[in-house]
Structure 1
Amino acid sequence: MKTLLKISLIGLLILLSFFTQAQITADQVLDKVKDNMNANSTITESKMVIRGKRNTREIVSKGYAEGNEKSFTEYLSPEREKGTKMLKLEDKLWIYNPSTDRTIQLSGHMLRQSVMGSDLSYEDMMEDRELKEIYEATIVGEEKIGDRTCYVLELNAIVEDVSYQTRKTWVDTERFVPLKEDLFAKSGQLLKRVKLEDVKEIDGRWYPTKINYKDMLMSGEGTDFIVLDIQFNPEIPDYIFNKASLKR
């Protein structure tokens, strides 16, 4: 009898453990995604494959970032884009064009322009607030993407100044990596779809090394952002995040 009671208690504890794990909140999921994917600083070498209606272009760049508020990107190839540089400091963005030897600051409606003809806008690059600060998130279910089980999160904006009123995000339940995201306008129209693939373990964290951005209002197969190499938490010299670096 005591043995049966002990087995029953153990079984109850296991069930309670599973039940507790199942009660994870949407905010906790977002926190785990942030802990897994964010870093104090990164240095990234990447290739952007822009799949247009008539042709495909590849652009290689090297980027430096500290948190979400500072980033510096230099385009390395092809020759047409080589030497173009971008600097983001909080809510300000500057672009240096070597062919004209001019630096311009993008603001307002100019931020809605496409980055190098890709499906990504400058506005997409500028958002640096935590999702929990600007959206109310809810877990609305679980779905499979490939062989991975995902939490399905619905995020509704709680502030006015957002590019997307609603987001629907699929987050891997084990690795806490987003695998897909749909971005909607206030009208409910689907504006963009993001697919995150080729997830690899790098320095103890799970990270997607291929991201496809698809502007749903444009034709074509979208733009692939492919990580060639990434360093997490490296030391980055202060001069990198300075306007003088644009013409260096």
Structure 2
Amino acid sequence: MEALIWADTMRGEFEMRITTPRWERTLGLRIWMDRPKRSFVRVLSPAKEAGIGSLRIGNEMWNYLPAVERTIKIPPSMMLQPWMGSDFTNDDLVKQSSAIDDYVQQVAGEESLEGRPVWLIEALPKPDAPVVWGRIVYWIRKDSIPVKQEYYSDRGELTRVMAFSEVRPVGGRSIPTRWEMKPLGKPGNVTVITVKDAEFNTAVDDEIFTQRYLQRR
């Protein structure tokens, strides 16, 4: 599933729609990933937020705010904070933790979901892994396409659910292009990421993963 969605490298155009009981907004994003060690997110629109960037190298992360021309290093304690007011966290957007490297997976069962047979996979963090979740449960089709993910706190509480849908061809592979995140503790909140376009396993310039590029307007 990780290889299908992200590959070894990925660059693409995404849309993020954030909805709360009081307001709604949509962000255009460009994302580059060199899995699992480096990633970069640039906000393209709206104009008020355009140029904001997030850079992750290893376990370190920086956000750049062009309005004040300031780069802020994000401490590990802030990885669970919302990114750009969404229901995705800093950890989600830059993929600080790797499901493969930092968790131990086991098959917890087999079910039928949306009329298709799926594996139920439980992922538990390795003892010294720098991760923010106490447990993640995946529903994955047997063709590796994810259907749903449940995120649990280190106290065992289910805190949020992400659903995948609208599978279509992107970049030479079929992937879900709608990712809906719902936090259980915030009724009426939902964030939807739509994959507009992407390229997989193509060379990504090392210059992108630098603070100099982060601060470029």
Q: Which has the larger radius of gyration?
A: 1
Matched letter for residue 162 of structure 2: V
Q: Establish whether residue 181 from structure 1 lines up as the match of residue 149 from structure 2.
A: yes
Q: Deviations over 1:11-34 (max 9, x none)?
A: xxxxxxxxxxxxxxxxxxxxxx23
How far apart are 1:136 and its partner, in Å?
3.0
How far apart are 1:127 and its partner, in Å?
4.4
1:91–1:126: 8 Å Cα contact kept in structure 2?
Answer: no
How far apart are 1:219 and its partner, in Å?
2.1
Paired residue for 1:162, among 121, 131, 151? Answer: 131
The 5 Å alignment of 1:77-88 reads: 77-88=45-56
Which has a greater percent of strand?
2
How far apart are 1:162 and its partner, in Å?
2.6
Question: Helix, strand or coil: the match of 1:112?
Answer: coil
CA distance in 2, matches of 1:129, 1:142: 26
CA distance in 1, matches of 2:39, 2:125: 25
1:28 counterpart residue number: none
Q: Deviations over 1:90-111 (max 9, x none)?
A: 1111111111011111113222
Q: Establish whether residue 223 from structure 1 lines up as the match of residue 191 from structure 2.
A: yes
CA distance in 2, matches of 1:77, 1:35: 29
CA distance in 2, matches of 1:92, 1:141: 36
1:214 counterpart residue number: 182
CA distance in 2, matches of 1:167, 1:221: 21
Matched letter for residue 139 of structure 2: W
1:58 counterpart residue number: 26
1:95–1:103: 8 Å Cα contact kept in structure 2?
Answer: yes
TM-score between both structures, scaled by the size of structure 2: 0.90
Question: Helix, strand or coil: the match of 1:131?
Answer: coil
Q: Deviations over 1:193-217 (max 9, x none)?
A: 1111112233453311110112222
TM-score between both structures, scaled by the size of structure 1: 0.80
2:169 counterpart residue number: 201
CA distance in 2, matches of 1:51, 1:191: 18
Percent identical pairs in the alignment equals: 26
CA distance in 1, matches of 2:15, 2:90: 17
Matched letter for residue 68 of structure 1: P
1:107 counterpart residue number: 75
Task: Show structure 1 runs of 5+ residues with no match.
Answer: 1-32
1:13 counterpart residue number: none
Paired residue for 1:96, among 64, 69, 79? Answer: 64
How far apart are 1:163 and its partner, in Å?
1.3
How far apart are 1:132 and its partner, in Å?
4.2
- Please report the RMSD computed on the Cα atoms of aligned residues, expressed in angstroms: 1.9
The 5 Å alignment of 1:223-242 reads: 223-242=191-210
Question: Helix, strand or coil: the match of 1:240?
Answer: helix
CA distance in 1, matches of 2:101, 2:213: 32
Aligned length: 215
Q: Deviations over 1:31-63 (max 9, x none)?
A: xx2343332211110100001111211000111
Matched letter for residue 19 of structure 2: R
